Homo-oligomer: A and B are copies of this chain.
Amino acid sequence: MSVTAARGFTATGIAAGIKQSGTPDLALVVNEGPRDAAAGVFTANRVKAAPVLWSERVVKGGRVGSVVLNSGGANACTGPEGFQDTHATAERVAQLLNQSAGEVAVASTGLIGTRLPMDALLGGIGTAARQLSRHGGEKAALAIKTTDSVHKTAVAERDGWTVGGMAKGAGMLAPGLATMLVVLTTDADLAAPELDKALREATRSTFDRVDSDGCMSTNDTVLLLASGAAERTPGYAEFAAAVHEVCESLARQLIGDAEGASKDIRIEVVGAATEDDAVTAGRSIARNNLLKCALHGEDPNWGRVLAAIGTTDAAFEPDRLSVAINGVWVCRDGSIGEDRELVDMRYRQIDITADLAAGPASAVVWTNDLTAEYVHENSAYSS
């Protein structure tokens, strides 16, 4: 399934020798047409990896013929030489597939600040090009994993057309943790501006609302490619809903596989004056290390929720804030509410509702707990 669920796409994933471990590290996704419309969303980090700088240009043209992705190296902070490496990567793909390099998107993930082993990478592209398959989506999804414990794919099937996709990483777009790479494909026939609109709308309320550790990557990339192979043009709303469904599924899979996490935490901020306020408050809660530790310990420490909200400029009055954890309103009107002993925190998902009592807007932000395993994984692994 994955990126080859939709017709008009081939893909594969191979071990090119970029990773010293010898596990798969190179994926290729090719739009076989008849159309090649595309859109992309990239990291908001001002320090952007070479492949992000490259792919932003590619996507501006509204056409993407193929995407080459590698794990085992981010090609970020590698100077003009690193950009040349990305350029050479796109050229090699273009040459083998008879495409224009200007329509080959590149995405990389791994350690920042080291050059890619270009011999292995360019050689691997040759191997991958020979192994492209209409059933290669799973292999591609496997090859982009870094610290992911499982590969992530999702598909939305509609009447005669499909949206599918793959993702790696455990974080978010802006800002984002350990790099998130996502490729979505569809066989619906839509023009680049519509793809762009649907993708931006979907990422805004899915990938952008996942905040695993508040760290923004240099490499986050989300691409949407349309082949038109289904020879159908769905209505915009219907198409946007399908893109949203796939993004939502992949975003949940990302947070569920976040580094070291033992709890998935859903934070819903209600009663906000604006949606921006709701997101701001939700993100501040999601990033509070003390709260994330408490939730790891199954401690319904609602005071840390209020302390996190208090650091924001969202509209609220401290004595009107209320907080529920797993349905128990442990804080009402800024003070002690129901007995915290009533909160059952045995399960993996924890639901926090924060009511700002300042208006009608709301938003949901997902995060996870902070664990000793997260520390271990990110201190022992140079990523």
User: Which A residues form the contact surface with B (CB < 8 A)?
Assistant: 44-48, 74, 76-82, 111-115, 175, 177-178, 213-218, 287-290, 293-294, 296-297, 299, 301-304, 306-312, 316, 318-319, 321, 330-331, 333-336, 370-372, 374-380, 382-383
A319 in contact with B217 (CB, 8 Å): no
Contact between A79 and B310, CB atoms less than 8 A apart: no
Does the CB pair A288–B215 fall under 8 Å?
Answer: yes
Cβ of A62 to closest chain B Cβ, rounded Å: 26
> Cβ of B218 and Cβ of A289 under 8 Å apart?
no
- A35 to B48 CA separation, bound complex (whole angstroms): 58
Q: Using known A-B contacts A213-B289, A216-B311, A289-B289, determine if residue A318 contacts B380 with beta carbons closer than 8 Å.
A: no
How long is the Cα–Cα vector from A77 to B80 in the complex, in angstroms? 53
24 sample A-B contacts, Cβ–Cβ < 8 Å, listed by A number: A46-B311, A46-B312, A46-B318, A47-B310, A47-B318, A76-B303, A77-B303, A77-B336, A79-B333, A80-B335, A112-B307, A113-B303, A113-B306, A177-B290, A213-B289, A214-B287, A216-B307, A290-B383, A294-B378, A297-B378, A297-B379, A301-B383, A371-B375, A372-B375
Copies of the polypeptide in the assembly: 2
Counting chain B CB atoms within 10 Å of each CB, which of A306, A330, A331 scores highest?
A306
Asked whether, in the complex, the Cβ of A218 is within 8 Å of the Cβ of B78, the reply is no
| Least Cβ–Cβ distance between A270 and chain B, in angstroms | 18
- Known pairs A77-B336, A217-B307. 20 more at Cβ < 8 A? A45-B310, A46-B318, A47-B306, A47-B309, A47-B310, A77-B302, A78-B336, A79-B334, A79-B335, A111-B303, A112-B301, A113-B303, A113-B330, A113-B331, A113-B335, A215-B307, A216-B310, A289-B378, A296-B379, A297-B380
Which secondary structure characterizes the binding site on chain A? Answer: loop
Chain B residue numbers with a CB within 8 Å of A383 are 290, 301
Q: How far is the CA of A82 from the CA of B331 in the complex (A)?
A: 14
Nearest B-chain residue to A319, judged by Cβ: B79
If A214-B289, A294-B382 touch, does A114 touch B336 (CB 8 Å cutoff)?
Answer: yes
A379's partner among B294, B306, B311, B321 (CB-CB below 8 A) is B294
- Nearest-neighbour CB distance to chain B for A27, whole angstroms, equals 22
Give the residue name and chain of the B residue nearest to A81 (CB): B335
How far is B335's CA from A46's CA once the two chains are assembled, in angstroms?
14
Q: Is the CB of B334 within 8 A of A379?
A: no
Q: What's the Cα separation between A114 and B301 when bound, in Å?
A: 11
